Amino acid sequence: MTLTLDLTRTLAAGGVTGGISAADWADVTTHAATARAAFTARREAGVLGFLDLPADDDGVAALQAFAAEVRGQYDDVLLLGIGGSSLGAIALRSSLRPWGVNLMPADRRGGWPRVHVLDTPDPTVVLGALDLVDLRRTMVCVVSKSGGTAETLAQYSVVRDRLSKVHGETLTRHLVFVTDPDVGPLRAIARAEGIRTFEVPSNVGGRYSVLSAVGLLPAALMGADIGALLSGAAAMAARCTQDAWRENPALAWAITQWLLHTRQGKPIHVLMPYVDALRDIAPWFVQLWAESLGKIAPDGTHVGPTPLAAVGPADQHAQVQLFMEGPADKVVTFITLAEPPGDQVIPSVHPKTREISYLAGHGLWTLVDAEQRATAAALATMGRPSATMQLERLDPWHVGGLLMWLQCATIYAAGLYGINPLDQPGVELGKRYTGALLGRAGTEAERAAYEAADSPASSRLVI
Ligand code: PA5
């Protein structure tokens, strides 16, 4: 079982004219040492709690026992959460369960409930979901590390009110919270009402929480093998804490992304799985990379790459035109599989039609795989760099490894950019303005600032 990283086409020496130059690559050991030192300092400060999640055997056992206990009691689970509290569950559902799992009848799902992730307070989603499920047989998981996120609490209020109409005073039996062990309104409500909770360790931030109960609870409720997921993550954490960059795929990948950005003018970092089951890992990564690395550096400069999600082969008919002939400001990282996730030979149905007959006899997967290799080669021909992350096969072990890899890489990249990957001060002002617009107590100054920032009617341009 392996996960490999091919960086050949990130290098000018690998034959890609827009790749990292020999002179820049000559300093790779120094860059590795810088990134490792920053990573180690954070680890020693105790703030990289995501690295320790795979070792939480008791936590995993509790989640597995809970999932087994409720299996068969519920047809549906509504997961309420946003950002780091929802994207991981979405990625795990498509990575670990069969395509269309929520469309399958209960027996084909093994009796596990359908898990619906509501990651917005948009009423069409909230009301649409409530319309879809039978609340008598629905569990509601409220996922919020802080316990104070407006979108999630708004969803919770609406859904709880509906639950109370169905269950009366016993509604809390159908609620589960995933939140901080000590602080926040959800924790306080859970204590007061005896609501079942699972913890997000206080040193695990939202976008680094996919391997905590934030991702593991929904994954366990879907019947996924969370033990194998964590075992793959543990193996990758061991690789990704090596000092030598050749032994450490997260460090090596972070260095190439950073060098391509800062030395070769490639600030746009595309993650492009050519494995449909991994397509939702791309938006999960986008949040991780964007919210972690888009920062004001200590010297006041604005830094950070722009992540972009793509998926193959679909994006060959959408974004690849831009990647090939648009500005030379992108590096693409493909995610591929060494072993097909099952295959189907394409039958010969029109042997005399040349446009179709050449496909006959090949596997569907052979086509997908050929398209990935062809796209990488075409990009290289245009001087556009790319890297390839390859999983030996599609299973929970390799998915866990991939998630750990990308999280470690984010911390290494932060060390190279010289910023803190664990905070998100830039989203606070918008949150305070929202509170002010809704009349939240104590936000009078924000209300005044919002109004001062609002354009006067005379300067509006509305067409
Ligand atoms: O990564 C982060 O910290 C954020 O994106 C959070 O995940 C998001 O804001 C949701 O926060 P919470 O889990 O506290 O509701």
Question: For residue 43, which amino acid is it?
Answer: R
Q: What is the pLDDT of residue 13?
A: 94
Q: Which of 59-63, 220-224, 334-338, 432-436 has the lowest mean pLDDT?
A: 432-436
Which atom of ligand 1 lies closest to the CA of 151?
Answer: 15
Residue 7 CA to ligand 1 center (angstroms) comes to 32
Can you tell me whether residue 96 is helix, strand or coil?
helix
Q: What is the pLDDT of residues 197-218, one digit of tens each?
A: 999 999 999 999 999 999 999 9
* DSSP calls for 374-418: HHHHHHHHTT--EEEEEESSSSHHHHHHHHHHHHHHHHHHHHHHT
Is 317 one of the annotated active-site residues of the chain? yes
Mutate to test the pocket of ligand 1, among 146, 152, 293 (most ligand atoms within 8 A of CB): 146
Residue 322 token pair? 């831009």
Phi and psi dihedrals of 112, rounded to 5? -80, 145
Is 352 one of the annotated active-site residues of the chain? no
Residue 291 CA to ligand 1 center (angstroms) comes to 10
Cα separations in angstroms, 144 against 7, 99, 172 = 37, 27, 17
What does the pLDDT average to over 36-56? Answer: 98
Which of 89, 93, 119 has the alpha carbon at shortest distance from 104?
93
Residue 87: pLDDT above 80? yes
Which percentage of the chain shows pLDDT scores above 90?
92
Distance (Å, whole) CA 115 – CA 93: 8
When pLDDT is cut at 50, 70 and 90, the band that residue 458 belongs to is confident
Burial class (CB in 10 A: 0-12, 13-18, 19+), 104: middle
Mean pLDDT of the chain: 96
What does the pLDDT average to over 45-64? Answer: 97
Q: What is the pLDDT of residue 455?
A: 77
Which atom of ligand 1 lies closest to the CA of 84?
Answer: 7
Q: What is the pLDDT of residue 94?
A: 98
**Dihedral angle at the C-alpha atoms of 391, 393, 396, 399, nearest 10 degrees?**
20
Beta strand 302-303 with 386-391 is unpaired
Kindly report the protein residue whose alpha carbon is nearest to atom 9 of ligand 1. Answer: 83
Which of 70, 88, 202, 99 has the alpha carbon at shortest distance from 145?
202
What does the pLDDT average to over 324-335? Answer: 98
Residue 72 token pair? 């068969």
Q: What is the pLDDT of residue 337?
A: 98
What is the spatial order of strands in the sheet that 268-273 belongs to?
3-6, 386-391, 330-337, 268-273, 306-309
Q: What is the pLDDT of residue 301?
A: 95
Burial class (CB in 10 A: 0-12, 13-18, 19+), 319: buried
Identify the residue whose tokens are 């369960």. Answer: 97
**Residue 201 · residue 181 · CB < 8 Å:** yes
Please list every protein residue whose CB sits less than 6 Å from any atom of ligand 1.
82-85, 144-146, 149, 152, 205-207, 291, 424
When pLDDT is cut at 50, 70 and 90, the band that residue 1 belongs to is low
Residue 453: pLDDT above 90? no
Residue 213 CA to ligand 1 center (angstroms) comes to 14
Q: What is the pLDDT of residue 209?
A: 98
Which percentage of the chain shows pLDDT scores above 70?
100
Sign of torsion over alpha carbons 182, 184, 189, 190: negative
Which of 421, 400, 303, 423 has the alpha carbon at shortest distance from 39?
421
Three-state secondary structure of 447-461: HHHHHHHCCCHHHCC
Residue 133: pLDDT above 80? yes
Residue 69: pLDDT above 70? yes
Let me know how long the chain is.
463
